[in-house]
Amino acid sequence: MNIPRTSFPRIVIIGGGFAGVALAKKLSKQEVQVVLLDKNNYHTFQPLLYQVSTGGLEPDSIAYPIRKILKDFPNFYFRLADVEEIDANKNKIKTNIGNLKFDYLVVASGSTTNFFGNTEVEKYSMAMKTIPQSLNLRSLILENFEEALLTSDLNERNALMNFVIVGGGPTGVELAGALAEIKKGILPKDYPDLDTRLAQIHIIQSSDCILKGMSEKASAKAEDFLEKLGVNIWKNVRVTNYDGKTVTTNTDLTFETATVVWAAGVKGATIKGLDAEDFVTRGNRLLVNEFNQVKGYEHIFAIGDIACMASEAFPYGHPMMAQPAIQQGDQLGDNILELLESKPMKPFAYKDKGAMATIGRNKAVVDLEKWKFQGIFAWYVWMFVHLFFLIGFRNRMVVFVNWVYNYIRFDREARLIIRPFKNKLKH
Amino acid sequence: MNIPRTSFPRIVIIGGGFAGVALAKKLSKQEVQVVLLDKNNYHTFQPLLYQVSTGGLEPDSIAYPIRKILKDFPNFYFRLADVEEIDANKNKIKTNIGNLKFDYLVVASGSTTNFFGNTEVEKYSMAMKTIPQSLNLRSLILENFEEALLTSDLNERNALMNFVIVGGGPTGVELAGALAEIKKGILPKDYPDLDTRLAQIHIIQSSDCILKGMSEKASAKAEDFLEKLGVNIWKNVRVTNYDGKTVTTNTDLTFETATVVWAAGVKGATIKGLDAEDFVTRGNRLLVNEFNQVKGYEHIFAIGDIACMASEAFPYGHPMMAQPAIQQGDQLGDNILELLESKPMKPFAYKDKGAMATIGRNKAVVDLEKWKFQGIFAWYVWMFVHLFFLIGFRNRMVVFVNWVYNYIRFDREARLIIRPFKNKLKH
């Protein structure tokens, strides 16, 4: 890779997600060379992907060019690259655009959807972790409605209008709420010749409550909101398979559906060379110590979803969400600077800023440390926080305009099949 | 196709572009059944495609769901379909989703890029007539810059940063201007390690002036604006081939480039069954009479780009642009209603509302019937007119926000490679 060696130590960061970007910002204007590698040339604001899938937002307004985030930083290099292997002992990585030596390596490669080894489910169901995946889901939902118009077979039409979401975490809950609003507000107008009662939205949750990481009150209220929106919640049910037509479960329940969204789990996106049993723990995450150092190395770190820092409070590592990633990136920035001056690093301490999820119009749940609230005010807080954390003034403005419009008009205008997902409709 | 027969006559419209949508709107709330077919579920505002390609706008804000345009109209049916054949004598069309009988048929299938039979040029160069094509071009431009960073071969880097636009019509001119502004405003910040002087933008024009359809003054001024922006204009040069590496011309000139945008012409998108020599004239357009009736048929019409209504003023038909399409769609709506009441139809008379093109920041040219002007005021007029003709309040707001942002910040934030175009970068 064409990157000049300078007298500054070279820090290579793999991944431009919340963790990688927070770290890179921290290291800007310091006497280090930073090389950030990502498969995409943009940072994705994952918490709003479900709105892209449901036509509420453009993909472009929840993505941000990585080069632009870091454009004013000297000694900063970005490369669009897929990291194929890490040679930890030779301080080298192998990528699709060549090899690169590092002085310090930070793995911030994030997570991917966890299908728990079920290849059939993986083949037929939709994930929603990236922008292209979210756009595929958007296309599929709309293509299903178009197809439902064409069939006179009631079972087939049912399957096309049935949406099964596996997993009742924030992603599943937010997607279900948005689909329920489409069913109520848009389907009857766009498809007057379809019986919209056929459109059923199911959440399948393996445990006994949704939004498991949140408070009991938030969980109960979210369930209440969803049920009022007509979403069917199936608790204590575990999906065993999906063959493209039928979802089977560990109970008698089965679902005939053309659309399964798999939001039942994520796993660390490990990279060859650091993926041996030695390094990897539950959820396919890299074991790190309290300084985010990968087990056995002083100059290799992991932060964000990929890192598992086990502690008393978090025996299986921090939740795989934006906040721990940002905080770890931030702190590692400080720690690397300390390390370079041979000063002691500070152990990471997670500040839990709370959690929130939106269910729909005027309906959200928010858990803060000392205050848990639900309903319209929670919804405003949810919107404010998401706008605040979105990178870029333009993105904030565009998202704001869309939200105001969608709110006033009960609408979602980005219901466009720009790249058809089903083969037969490709052109 | 699953569309109920009613006592109303059925009018089938092929294509939801400017012409088809204008016609459908005109026929709304009348005692007719309207079936609109399109390959996409959205209407595309083609005049702004070049801004999608150059990262200035999201694709979603220049597209509009067709179902939504027509949602309040009774007796209206939309189907996402590819029309494969027209059986004019049996009043039937064949599509990928089944057959459909019609009482009246209106072909509004628009136009596609005309490569004038050069399959190699078609294979290697980029077109910009649809949203997916524009997004492909956006990806390619950005991928080229990323790749230019990786090579130490100066010729290869040159080719990657060289942009050749074939055709100096409005599309070519507007794209060239936007690329020149990217070169000036964004490249130096995003790619500090690239010598941006290498980025050359060429327009190749076969005749002796650009913006041929406009006034001499507009053409001269546009040329002046482009030259000030650093665009190279090659007049009286005709491209003979492009093999993916080298553009050859009818002169000694050749261009080494990884990107050729073919904006040198369009041709009617004819459909099997009405594509025999009898019907088709110059530019692959369907011959129609002054009522837009296809030669030999009383109940089959063609409007917009696909229709060639030869007259004294327009011996080869009207220009293939939005205005004639909208006006023909409008008028045909009235005429069909007259026809249904057995009243005489009115011949079409084109009202030329003028033409305009933007070159860049504060730089546009406008030709009205009695007033031709260029510069900053023209640029405001251009923006106002484009916002006005864009369908949908949300789209207008989002485009407006983007334009204000881009203007103030000299920026284009949608420089995202969401779907990589080059195979090697696909993931």
> Cα(A382)–Cα(A403) distance, rounded to whole angstroms?
12
Contact A149 B191 (CB under 8 A): no
> Cα(A400)–Cα(A51) distance, rounded to whole angstroms?
13
Classify residue A4: in a domain, yes or no: no
Sign of the CA dihedral running A349, A322, A265, B417: negative
| Span A251-293, pLDDT tens digits | 999 999 999 999 999 999 999 999 888 889 889 999 999 999 9
**In chain B, what residues touch A402 (CB-CB under 8 Å)?**
394, 398
- What's the rounded mean pLDDT across residues A129-146? 96
Say how many residues make up chain B: 427
A248: left (phi over 0), alpha (psi -120 to 50) or beta: beta
Q: Provide the residue range defining the domain that includes A253.
A: 119-264+361-425
A110: left (phi over 0), alpha (psi -120 to 50) or beta: left
**Tokens representing residue B211 in the block:** 């913006």
The reply to whether A258 and A275 lie within a common domain is: no
The reply to whether B158 and B137 lie within a common domain is: yes
User: Which 3 state secondary structure label does DSSP give B25?
Assistant: helix
The reply to whether B137 and B216 lie within a common domain is: yes
Domain CATH code at residue A414: 3.50.50.100
Q: Would you say A2 and B150 are in contact if contact means Cβ atoms under 8 Å apart?
A: yes
Residues B155, B158, B163, B168, Cα dihedral to 10°? -80
**In chain B, what residues touch A81 (CB-CB under 8 Å)?**
none
The reply to whether A309 and A332 lie within a common domain is: yes
Question: H/E element holding A364?
Answer: strand A363-367
The reply to whether B228 and B167 lie within a common domain is: yes
Query: For chain B, which residues score pLDDT lower than 50?
Result: 424-427
**In chain A, what residues touch B414 (CB-CB under 8 Å)?**
60
Identify the pLDDT of residue A425.
37
Identify the pLDDT of residue B196.
87
**In chain A, what residues touch B418 (CB-CB under 8 Å)?**
42, 59-60, 63, 131-132, 135
Domain CATH code at residue A289: 3.50.50.60
Query: Distance (Å) from the C-alpha of residue B417 to the closest C-alpha of chain A?
Result: 6
Classify residue B427: in a domain, yes or no: no
**B contact test, residue of A76, A400, A416, A417 with most B CBs within 10 A:** A416
- Between chain A and chain B, the number of residue pairs with CB atoms below 8 A apart is 149
The reply to whether A242 and A333 lie within a common domain is: no
- What are the E-state strand segments in B326-383? 355-360, 363-367, 372-375
In the structure, what pLDDT confidence band is assigned to residue A422 with cuts at 50, 70 and 90? confident
Q: Residue A216 CB: number of other CB atoms within 10 A?
A: 10
Which residue of chain B has the CA closest to A57?
A: B60
| Span A345-356, pLDDT tens digits | 999 999 999 999
Contact B150 A97 (CB under 8 A): yes
**In chain A, what residues touch B132 (CB-CB under 8 Å)?**
418-419
In the structure, what pLDDT confidence band is assigned to residue A217 with cuts at 50, 70 and 90? very high
Q: Would you say B53 and B141 are in contact if contact means Cβ atoms under 8 Å apart?
A: yes
Classify residue B68: in a domain, yes or no: no
The reply to whether B167 and B255 lie within a common domain is: yes
Contact B97 A150 (CB under 8 A): yes
Which 8-state DSSP code applies to residue B423? Answer: G
Angle between helices B216-228 and B170-185 (to 10 degrees): 20
> Cα(B318)–Cα(B13) distance, rounded to whole angstroms?
20
> Cα(B395)–Cα(A33) distance, rounded to whole angstroms?
42
Classify residue B56: in a domain, yes or no: no
- In chain A, the number of structural domains is 2
Given A340, A369, A387, which residue is the final one in a domain?
A340
Given B309, B340, B371, which residue is the final one in a domain?
B340
**B contact test, residue of A1, A28, A41 with most B CBs within 10 A:** A41
Contact A415 B97 (CB under 8 A): no
- Decide: residue A237, CB within 10 A, 0-12 exposed, 13-18 middle, 19+ buried: buried
Which 8-state DSSP code applies to residue A214? Answer: S
The residue assigned the tokens 């553009």 is: B247
Alpha-helical segments (H) within A163-214: 170-185, 187-190
**DSSP-assigned beta bridge partners for residue B77:** B35
The reply to whether A224 and A160 lie within a common domain is: yes
Q: Residue A346 CB: number of other CB atoms within 10 A?
A: 12
Residue B297: C-alpha distances to residues A363, B113, B223 (Å): 58, 28, 45
The reply to whether A132 and A192 lie within a common domain is: yes
> Cα(A261)–Cα(A137) distance, rounded to whole angstroms?
8
Classify residue B196: in a domain, yes or no: yes
Which residue of chain A has the CA closest to B189?
A: A71
Percent of chain A whose pLDDT exceeds 90: 89
Quickly list DSSP for A237-286: --EEEE-SSEEEESSS-EEE-SEEEE-S-EEE---TTS-STTTEEGGGEE
Identify the pLDDT of residue B425.
37
The reply to whether B133 and B256 lie within a common domain is: yes
**What is the complex's ipTM, to 2 decimals?**
0.93
> Cα(B222)–Cα(B229) distance, rounded to whole angstroms?
11
The reply to whether A230 and A379 lie within a common domain is: yes
> Cα(A91)–Cα(A103) distance, rounded to whole angstroms?
7
Contact B146 A41 (CB under 8 A): yes
Question: Among candidates B22, B55, B124, B17, which has minimal Cα distance to B413?
Answer: B55
Contact B58 A394 (CB under 8 A): no
Identify the pLDDT of residue A278.
81
Classify residue B17: in a domain, yes or no: yes
Given B279, B311, B340, which residue is the final one in a domain?
B340
Contact B415 A65 (CB under 8 A): yes
Contact B413 A402 (CB under 8 A): no
> Cα(B289)–Cα(B348) distance, rounded to whole angstroms?
9
The reply to whether B234 and B254 lie within a common domain is: yes
| Span A104-123, pLDDT tens digits | 999 999 999 999 999 999 99
Classify residue B345: in a domain, yes or no: no
List of residues 6+ apart from A149 with CB closer than 8 A: A191, A193, A194, B2, B79
Classify residue A1: in a domain, yes or no: no
